[in-house]
Amino acid sequence: MRLHEIVEFAAIAEPSALALICEDTELSFSELWEQITEMAASVRSLIASGDRVALLSETRIEFA
């Protein structure tokens, strides 16, 4: 099972369960899944099938 599949399963099974804590910010599994799907859609809109993508970022909850 891939990581995104685990998060999706948890978002369905336990949507309000705590998924991440970063400093004073907390995200539930449903909130995390929403961020994941929004970022994936944004990236997909900018690339073509077969393109390779790398992401370099600071450790931040927005990029979890």
Q: Considering its fold, how many domains does the chain have in total?
A: 1
pLDDT of residue 55: 84
- Paired with 22 in beta bridges are 25
Is the pLDDT score of 12 beyond 80? yes
Structure tokens at 21: 């804590």
41: containing domain: 3-63
- The CATH number of the domain where 14 resides is what? 3.40.50.980
Is the pLDDT score of 64 beyond 70? no
User: Which ranges of the chain would DSSP assign to H, the alpha helix?
Assistant: 3-13, 29-46
pLDDT in tens, 16-56: 999 999 889 999 999 999 999 999 999 999 999 999 999 88
